[in-house]
């Protein structure tokens, strides 16, 4: 596990399952526009949350790339879920700005809701095809720049699916 401090926010990197982070107040979903169940991160989160999550979410959609909405956590151990729609790489442009917007808006929503501990997956780097090293830099730079503006968020955890993905984020965090 790697940790780094930006202003009063601790950023940490771990390998694991975003749907199994019981010590976080909110987890972030790499959602689809309609906020339906889907695969990857979205599938794991909806399976763990139960059908009530999709029922709550569908009326909140559709959302556009770069946008985020918040719901409750249903059967998850986390009180809330923030759903972000990342850009499809090579289609939704400018992809770096849309990806940065996901992280910024998710952090704004967390702060507005008085949330302290938030966990992110690597948004857009699965089905949506964003190259992991580029996505890691965008994600970490956005968080570093947002950190001084955050009032309630004190921990941001990246939950990477494999050790290889964790190593890529680790390198990016060290380069910042």
Can you give the binding site for ligand AR6, defined by CB under 6 A? 17-19, 30, 32, 38-42, 44, 86, 121-128, 159, 161, 165
Rounded to a whole number of angstroms, the minimum distance from the CB of residue 16 to ligand AR6 is: 7
Q: In this complex, which beta carbon is closest to ligand AR6, that of residue 13 or of residue 19?
A: 19
Distances in Å between the alpha carbon of 76 and those of 34, 44, 52, 53, 163? 20, 11, 11, 10, 24
Q: In this complex, which beta carbon is closest to ligand AR6, that of residue 95 or of residue 124?
A: 124
Pairing status of strand 68-72 against strand 2-6: unpaired
Q: In this complex, which beta carbon is closest to ligand AR6, that of residue 84 or of residue 150?
A: 84
Number of other residues whose CB lies within 10 A of the CB of residue 91: 10
Rounded to a whole number of angstroms, the minimum distance from the CB of residue 3 to ligand AR6 is: 19
Rounded to a whole number of angstroms, the minimum distance from the CB of residue 137 to ligand AR6 is: 15
Alpha-carbon span 9 to 120, nearest angstrom: 14
Task: Note the helical H segments in 6-149.
Answer: 40-49, 51-57, 95-112, 132-146
Q: In this complex, which beta carbon is closest to ligand AR6, that of residue 47 or of residue 148?
A: 47
Pairing status of strand 80-84 against strand 68-72: antiparallel
Pairing status of strand 9-15 against strand 68-72: unpaired
Rounded to a whole number of angstroms, the minimum distance from the CB of residue 153 to ligand AR6 is: 20
């Amino acid at each position: 596990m790697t940790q780094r401090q930006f202003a009063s926010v601790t950023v940490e990197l771990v390998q694991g399952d975003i749907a199994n982070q019981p010590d976080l107040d909110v987890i972030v979903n790499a959602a689809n526009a309609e906020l339906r169940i889907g695969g990857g991160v979205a599938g794991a989160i909806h399976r763990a949350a139960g059908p009530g999550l999709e029922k709550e979410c569908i009326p909140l959609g559709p959302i556009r790339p770069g946008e985020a909405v918040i719901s409750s956590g249903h059967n998850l151990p986390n009180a809330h879920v923030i759903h972000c729609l990342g850009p499809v790489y090579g289609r939704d442009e400018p992809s770096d700005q849309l990806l940065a917007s996901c992280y910024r808006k998710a952090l704004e929503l967390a702060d507005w809701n008085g949330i302290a501990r938030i966990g992110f997956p690597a948004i857009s780097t699965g089905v949506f095809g964003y190259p992991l090293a580029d996505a890691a830099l965008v994600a970490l730079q956005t968080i570093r720049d947002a950190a001084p503006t955050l009032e309630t968020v004190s921990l941001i955890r990246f939950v990477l699916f494999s050790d290889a993905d964790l190593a890529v984020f680790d390198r990016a965090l060290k380069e910042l």
